Amino acid sequence: MTRTLGWDVGGAHLKAALAENDRIIRVWQERTPIWQGLEHLEAGLRTILDAVEPGQVERHAITMTGELSDVFSSRREGVETLARLFAEKLSGDVSLYGGAAGFLSPGNARSHADEIASANWHASAALAAANIEEAVVIDMGSTTTDILPVAGGVVKAAGASDNARLACGELVYQGYTRTPLMAVASRAAFAGRSVPVMNEFFATMADVQRIVGILDEADDLYPPADGQEKSVEASRRRLARMIGLDAEDGTDGAWEWLAHGFAEEQLRKIHDAVLLVLSREDISEDAPVVVAGTGRPVLRRLAARLDRGIVDFPDLFDCPAELRDAVCRAAPAAALAVLAGRSR
């Protein structure tokens, strides 16, 4: 029986998933703001390792996007630093995920930094490619959305680096909770008028999702823009500031309509990117959408617009019902745990 711990080292969250052969048996997510210092990452790492019984894990597999954090002078420095940190803290068989390059030893971090950097999207898509005939895999996290067609056991990626993926639509910097509203729309409809949106960090998409009633608070681990409470009333107050008003200047219904407007603008941005990816004709018109990430409620709406069926990411492998939401939040970590276990 093989037990593998998959790690996804993000700039904002550290996620881990423990697999026993192909079955996910536990999942973790810790808030780790790397841009504020690596001590946050080390604390999250300790929390997870303290919850694992000694000798329970035979193999560790690591993917990352945290190398993009501006605590590092370059992505290469970030890859090398994170690889070294995990190699020092973990025991046993430790490998880094290099996307199409496969599993690499921590000693390869310098020579394969470009392949290791931000390769977590490839893990989710590779697992889907190994388990479904064809699909478009869409993973919407707190900050970004990944869009990948898979067919015939192959990830049909047109880009590998963040820069290339941004250019071809496979990476969209729109997230379910952490995206500032000024990055979603420049104008918004309010009380029958089109109003400019302030370029200020007054509110995020977490406020929008909370107001429209689809936010699971477990998906929002960070403080709101003003550092105040996480309630519908407080979210309305933050939303009002985006158009230069106070919550008292509109009805509850008016703020809900404004929130729906921001949600629609974000969905359109992701929809446009999906259409760009699908225009390459890598998959057929009836291929389903594999949805993953915290933003599954948004992606289900998107799949309906695309007139495609839906496959939940946990349906691709053995996942207990009580872990489905957690697995979706940590899709790359879960995918890595399963893929690494199979590669032994």
Mean pLDDT of the chain: 97
Give CA–CA dist 103/50, Å, rounded.
25
How crowded is residue 77: how many other Cβ atoms within 10 Å of its Cβ? Answer: 13
Host H or E run for residue 268 = helix 252-278
One-letter amino acid for residue 300 of the chain: R
CA 218 to chain centre: 14
Residue linked to tokens 């008292």: 248
- The pLDDT value given to residue 152: 95
Per residue in 20-78, pLDDT (tens digit) is 988 999 999 999 999 999 999 999 999 999 999 888 899 999 999 999 999 999 999 99
Q: What are phi and psi of 190, to 5 degrees?
A: -145, 125
Q: What is the pLDDT of residues 32-48, one digit of tens each?
A: 999 999 999 999 999 99
Q: Helix, strand, or coil here: 149?
A: strand
Residue 43 phi, psi (nearest 5) = -65, -45
CA–CA distance, 59 with 28 (Å, rounded to integer): 17
What pLDDT is attached to residue 55?
Answer: 85
**What per-residue confidence (pLDDT) applies to 205?**
98
In which element (H, E) is residue 29 found? strand 23-31
Residue bearing tokens 């949600």: 263
The reported pLDDT for the residue numbered 343 is: 82
Tokens encoding 262 = 């921001």
CA dihedral sign of residues 220, 29, 82, 79: negative
Question: Is the separation of the CB atoms in 93 and 60 below 8 Å?
Answer: yes
Token pair in block for residue 269: 């941005």
pLDDT band at 2 (very low <50, low <70, confident <90, very high): confident
Cα–Cα distance list, 38 to 178, 324, 332 (Å): 20, 30, 21
Six-digit token pair at 91? 């025991």
pLDDT above 70 as % of the chain: 99
Rounded CA separation 94/96 (Å): 7
Q: Tell me how far apart the alpha carbons of residues 174 and 269 are, in angstroms, rounded to a whole number.
A: 8
Residue-wise pLDDT for 260-281, tens only, equals: 999 999 999 999 999 999 999 9
Q: Which of 98, 104, 95, 145 shows the shortest CA–CA distance to 126?
A: 98
Whether pTM exceeds 0.75 = yes
- Tracing tokens 């420095």 back to the chain, one arrives at 77
